[in-house]
């Protein structure tokens, strides 16, 4: 099998990051892996792209989101079906097979009767990305006991894969790479005794239990935990959007975030030649991150008449020789078990492909960078009012200035509240954490000034041209909360 690990990188040192070697078994075949990496990452490092097949038409399926929010990577692990291999860590001797969605006959019946563990705190934060970590830190500053839940094996969310430096002010981490910001926030959380973090723990429901909020969590796929608190902050981030085109389900077609995870978190080369669909900031940044990993970027395709990201990012990509094709879209991906080619074409003002303008790119990697949508499923289940606001990325929870939803005691922050940047996610997380503590009576009135200061920082950050649509969307939401 072809090994595609990255050993040399201009920013990241994967030789230092990699831990003890272990052996996992895919269909009985031994595969070398490293502790701390996911099953899907280890399989990719061994050149395995097809993870399972669709139930009805038996079409091949591969990694797409890498954050546990789609079904593309479900496999059977140690006899247990439907395991999300993109967020499940490897273990020595682990047995992996294509997904067989039938529970094994020898499942331990005693385990079914095991009582759920109960964990109590003041504020439960669901989501360990930039918004969730900042919410936990800010709430803990007021003296609140915080429970932080995240289904990934590490805290940081999207920050752990961001190698570029952030814009903004110095106290908003300007000039610091996302991977470093994640480390700073993790250290803050680790040194605080009043924050208890639960990783590899999925929140599957939020309920009212008398005077308390009850969050049902599943840890490591097999341990049921009841988290009880007086308030909940939901910072579950966002999901990758995709677009319709022929064969858009072939292995080798990834959301942009999944490619960043493979390259920047686990040091695994996702392909040799890439086509990027979408010229927003994510697509542009992804282009030079791919080049850093020695992946050729054949082109960036953008349906709009102009790029959607910052000029500085586009200029850098163009200097590196990557063409940006505006008013173009992808028509088709070709290949047997995985991507081998992509066909794109120019489109007219009515978004229709123009015959005769087709271009063929020989690629084994197609990156979909067409935007995100907020992950609001838990908020919907909890009964929060949801509203469609195009400027914020789709359906979002209605909330007030202090990030509280229409269900008292449930707050929101980050991309769950509306698609923006990591900087605004952290500022919103700070407001939500302080506001939750204030409304519970844990924080004193002196913390109101800190919220007002953070609101001004948010307003300043959104004052640029890219923030106008967000401001308009927030106005619509605030009107809905009255």
DSSP 8-state assignment for residue 120: E
How far apart (Å, rounded) are the C-alpha atoms in residues 83 and 410? 29
Fold designation for 20-104: Ubiquitin-like (UB roll) (3.10.20)
57 vs 38, more confident? 38
pLDDT of residue 247: 97
Percent of the chain topping pLDDT 90: 85
pLDDT of residue 103: 64
Q: Do domains 20-104 and 117-239+373-478 have the same CATH topology?
A: no
Residues present in the chain in total: 482
How far apart (Å, rounded) are the C-alpha atoms in residues 46 and 33? 9
pLDDT of residue 108: 57
Asked whether the beta carbons of 198 and 150 are under 8 A apart, the reply is: yes
169 vs 46, more confident? 46
How far apart (Å, rounded) are the C-alpha atoms in residues 189 and 234? 17
pLDDT at 3 over 70: no
How far is CA 160 from each of CA 30, 135, 181, rounded to the nearest angstrom?
29, 18, 8
Question: Can you point out the beta strands (E) in 134-246?
Answer: 146-149, 195-198, 201-209, 212-219, 223-229, 231-234, 238-240
Contact partners, residue 291, CB within 8 Å, separation at least 6: 297, 320, 322
109 vs 155, more confident? 155
Fold designation for 117-239+373-478: FAD/NAD(P)-binding domain (3.50.50)
- Mean of the per-residue pLDDT values for the chain? 93
Model confidence, pTM? 0.93
Residue owning tokens 């940047």: 421
Asked whether the beta carbons of 292 and 10 are under 8 A apart, the reply is: yes
Please report, for the chain, the start and end positions of each structural domain, with discontinuous segments joined by +.
Answer: 20-104, 117-239+373-478, 253-368
How far apart (Å, rounded) are the C-alpha atoms in residues 411 and 400? 9
pLDDT of residue 185: 97
> Taking every pair of C-alpha atoms in the chain, what is the biggest distance, in angstroms?
68
At 195 the three-state DSSP class reads: strand
Q: Hey, how many other C-beta atoms are within 10 angstroms of the C-beta on 312?
A: 11
**Residue range 89-119, pLDDT digits in tens:** 999 999 999 998 776 665 555 555 668 899 9
Asked whether the beta carbons of 233 and 4 are under 8 A apart, the reply is: no
H-helix or E-strand containing 456?
helix 447-461
Q: Which range has the worst mean pLDDT, 232-236, 270-274, 431-435, 460-464?
A: 460-464
How far is CA 19 from each of CA 27, 36, 41, rounded to the nearest angstrom?
24, 7, 14
pLDDT of residue 317: 95
CATH architecture of 253-368: 3-Layer(bba) Sandwich (3.50)
How far apart (Å, rounded) are the C-alpha atoms in residues 377 and 149? 16
How far apart (Å, rounded) are the C-alpha atoms in residues 45 and 14? 13
CA dihedral (150, 153, 155, 160) in degrees, to 10, reads: -130
How far apart (Å, rounded) are the C-alpha atoms in residues 464 and 135? 25
Percent of the chain topping pLDDT 70: 96
Q: Hey, how many other C-beta atoms are within 10 angstroms of the C-beta on 383?
A: 14
| Nearest residue to 414 (alpha-carbon basis) of 43, 127, 187 | 127
Say how far residue 382 (Cα) sits from the centre of its chain. 22
Q: How confident is the model at residue 87 (pLDDT cuts 50, 70, 90)?
A: very high
| Nearest residue to 294 (alpha-carbon basis) of 319, 274, 265 | 274
Asked whether the beta carbons of 214 and 229 are under 8 A apart, the reply is: no
Find the distance separating the first CA and the last CA of the chain, reported in whole Å: 60
**Residue range 292-307, pLDDT digits in tens:** 999 999 999 999 999 9
pLDDT at 1 over 60: no
For residue 373, what are its two tokens? Answer: 């949508």
pLDDT at 242 over 70: yes
Question: Can you point out the beta strands (E) in 391-438?
Answer: 394-397, 410-412
Contact partners, residue 71, CB within 8 Å, separation at least 6: none
- Contacts for 394-399 with beta carbons within 8 Å, 24 or more apart? 396/473, 396/477, 397/234, 398/477, 398/480, 398/481, 399/477, 399/481
**pLDDT, average across residues 7-18:** 90
pLDDT at 446 over 60: yes
Asked whether the beta carbons of 428 and 462 are under 8 A apart, the reply is: no
For residue 196, what are its two tokens? Answer: 């208890």
DSSP 8-state assignment for residue 115: P
**pLDDT, average across residues 225-240:** 97
DSSP 8-state assignment for residue 244: -
DSSP 8-state assignment for residue 188: H
pLDDT of residue 82: 92
The phi and psi torsions of 365 (rounded to 5 degrees) equal -150, 125
pLDDT at 147 over 60: yes
Q: How confident is the model at residue 382 (pLDDT cuts 50, 70, 90)?
A: very high
**Residue range 247-291, pLDDT digits in tens:** 999 999 999 999 999 999 999 999 999 999 999 999 999 999 999
pLDDT at 324 over 70: yes
Q: How confident is the model at residue 205 (pLDDT cuts 50, 70, 90)?
A: very high
Q: Hey, how many other C-beta atoms are within 10 angstroms of the C-beta on 102?
A: 9
């Amino acid at each position: 099998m072809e090994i595609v690990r990255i050993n040399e990188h201009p920013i990241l040192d994967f030789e230092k990051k990699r831990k003890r070697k272990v052996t996992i078994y895919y269909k009985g075949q031994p595969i070398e892996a490293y502790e701390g990496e996911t099953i899907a990452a280890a399989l990719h490092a061994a050149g395995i792209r097809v993870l399972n097949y669709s139930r009805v038409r038996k079409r091949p399926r591969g990694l797409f989101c890498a954050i546990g929010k789609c079904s593309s990577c479900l496999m059977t692990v140690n006899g247990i079906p439907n395991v999300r291999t993109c967020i499940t860590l490897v273990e020595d001797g682990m047995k992996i097979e294509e997904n067989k969605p039938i529970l094994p006959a020898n499942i331990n019946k005693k385990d079914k009767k095991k009582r759920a563990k109960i964990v109590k705190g003041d504020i439960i934060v669901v989501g360990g990305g930039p918004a969730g970590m900042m919410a936990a830190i800010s709430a803990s500053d007021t003296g609140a006991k915080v429970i932080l839940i995240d289904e990934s094996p590490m805290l940081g969310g999207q920050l752990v894969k961001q190698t570029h430096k952030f814009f903004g002010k110095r106290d908003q981490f300007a000039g610091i790479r996302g991977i470093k910001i994640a480390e700073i926030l993790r250290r803050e959380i680790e040194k605080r005794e009043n924050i208890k973090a639960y990783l590899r723990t999925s929140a599957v429901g939020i309920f009212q239990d008398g005077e308390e909020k009850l969050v049902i969590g599943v840890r490591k796929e097999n341990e049921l935990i009841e988290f009880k608190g007086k308030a909940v902050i939901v910072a579950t981030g966002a999901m990758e959007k995709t677009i319709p085109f022929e064969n858009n389900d072939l292995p080798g077609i990834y959301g942009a975030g999944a490619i960043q995870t493979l390259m920047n978190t686990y040091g695994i080369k996702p392909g040799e030649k890439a086509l990027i669909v979408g010229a927003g900031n994510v697509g542009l940044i992804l282009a030079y991150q791919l080049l850093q990993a020695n992946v050729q970027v054949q082109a960036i395709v953008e349906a709009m008449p102009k790029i959607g990201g910052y000029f500085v990012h586009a200029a850098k990509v163009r200097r590196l020789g990557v063409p940006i094709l505006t008013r173009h879209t992808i028509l088709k991906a070709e290949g047997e078990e995985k991507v081998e080619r992509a066909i794109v074409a120019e489109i007219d003002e009515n978004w229709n492909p123009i015959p005769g303008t087709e271009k063929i790119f020989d690629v084994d990697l197609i990156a979909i960078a067409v935007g995100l949508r907020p992950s609001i499923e838990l908020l919907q289940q909890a009964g929060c009012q949801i509203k469609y606001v195009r400027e914020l990325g789709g359906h979002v929870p209605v909330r007030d200035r202090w990030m509280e939803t229409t269900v008292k005691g449930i707050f929101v922050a980050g991309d769950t509240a509306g698609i923006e940047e990591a900087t605004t996610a952290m500022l919103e997380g700070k407001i939500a954490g302080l506001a939750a503590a204030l409304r519970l009576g844990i924080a004193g009135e002196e913390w109101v000034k800190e919220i007002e200061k953070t609101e001004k920082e948010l307003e300043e950050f959104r004052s640029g041209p890219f923030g106008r649509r967000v401001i308009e969307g927030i106005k619509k939401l605030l009107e809905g909360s009255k």
